[in-house]
Amino acid sequence: MHLTLRQLKVFEAVARHLSFRRAAEELHLSQPAVSMQIKQLESNVELPLFDHVGKKVFLTEAGHEMFHCSRAIAGLLDEADEVIEQLKGGRRGKLALSVASTVNYFVPALLGTFCRRFPDITISLDVTNRETLLRQLADNEADLVIMGQPPAGDDLEAGAFMENPLVIIAPPDHPLAGKQGVPMMRLQDETFLVRERGSGTRGATERFFSQHGITLNTGMEISNNEAIKQSVQAGLGLGLLSRDTLEMELALNKLVVLDVEGFPIVRHWYVMHRRVKRLSPVAQAFKQFLLEKANTLLHPDLSGVSREGKMTAGRE
Ligand code: PGA
């Protein structure tokens, strides 16, 4: 059986109205054009679909069957229309998001708000280290990546959406706690618990010390922000972490931020993807959401002042 969607559409209208004239009016066609479509359809299915008794039109048995199917097909086409519209608006679909481990502290709150706005999307979240993030970008495994420092090169599009201040933390009973304007050279006398190689926090720490000619005395190397915080609390050394990891400990006064000259080191959080990647509507919507809303949502007290994000092609 060879039939066209147009024939089905015309048939559905005639069968619904049981009138060629009303179907023609609805479809903005002439009555002969409607009759022609129905004739072609009947010749395609090789059975009459309508009986004409006087001026009245009735469906034949084949017509009833065809009407049933054409309604189902019309419903599916409407559904397809709706899905495509929703996809265009970013309200449906999948998002593969990969983030650096420190991002784990704030990205769930953002996803919570985003998913409330777009409840029909499916998100996979991979929390991993910088090397893996870079490989995922290169292999096109992630739609979007969030991390602290875009690598050099111009094949990535990176947008900074929020400041990422790095601070020095100590237990509340540390001798430098509460002191103002501690000279940075004083840091040489301290032991630092550092993140693993490949961590953005570790890289920024080493750059800061080397740029200022300060010796970095590393104690334990710890591959996890939580373990660093616990170890600092236990008096094993100082830590240098993103302030985004510290909300709870600072509120509970389990850790304090030292007031050291040159701190905080202000970095930024970036959302990035390969320049050549064609973002899905969902990925595009989430990227926009980060660039426009993340800062205000996470720091309502600071929005528009110091942590405001903006699109940039630059590198740290
Ligand atoms: P992390 O931080 O890799 O130290 O967790 C993220 C980053 O700065 O890229």
Among the four given CATH numbers 3.40.190.10, 3.30.2010.10, 3.40.640.10, 3.40.50.300, the one describing domain 163-266: 3.40.190.10
Give the C-alpha separation, 240 to 244, whole Å. 12
Residue 292 CA to ligand 1 centre (angstroms) = 22
pLDDT tens by residue, 106-165: 999 999 999 998 888 899 999 988 878 988 888 888 899 999 988 887 789 999 999 999
Helices 20-27, 31-45: axis angle to 10 degrees equals 110
pLDDT bucket at 313, cuts 50 / 70 / 90: very low
Q: Where in the chain are the domains?
A: 5-74, 92-162+269-307, 163-266
3-state secondary structure of 256: strand
Pocket test for ligand 1, best of 147, 207, 221, 226 (most atoms within 8 A of CB): 147
How many angstroms is it from 87 CA to the middle of ligand 1? Answer: 32
Architecture, CATH, for domain 5-74:
Orthogonal Bundle (1.10)
Does 1 score more than 80 pLDDT? no
Each residue's pLDDT tens digit, 196-239: 988 889 999 999 999 999 999 999 999 999 999 999 999 999 99
Ligand 1 atom with least separation from CA of 204: 8
Beta bridge partners of 270: 147, 160
pLDDT digits (tens, 9 = 90+) for 163-191: 999 999 999 999 999 999 999 999 999 99
What pLDDT band is residue 82 in, cutting at 50, 70 and 90? low
Q: Which residue is associated with the tokens 């397809």?
A: 80
Percent of the chain at pLDDT > 70 equals: 93
**pTM as predicted:** 0.70
| CA gyration radius, the chain | 32
pLDDT one-digit tens code per residue, 21-76: 999 999 999 999 999 999 999 999 999 999 999 889 999 999 999 999 998 888 78
Say if residues 106 and 244 touch (Cβ distance below 8 Å): yes
CB 150 within 8 A of CB 315: yes
Work out the widest C-alpha separation in the chain, in whole angstroms. Answer: 106
CA distances from 263 to 90, 133, 180, 219, 242 (A): 40, 27, 12, 21, 11
Place of tokens 């050291």: 260
Assess whether the region 5-74 and the region 92-162+269-307 belong to the same CATH fold: no
Cα(218)–Cα(294) distance, rounded to whole angstroms? 34
State the fold for domain 92-162+269-307: D-Maltodextrin-Binding Protein; domain 2 (3.40.190)
User: 298 C-alpha to center of ligand 1: Å?
Assistant: 18
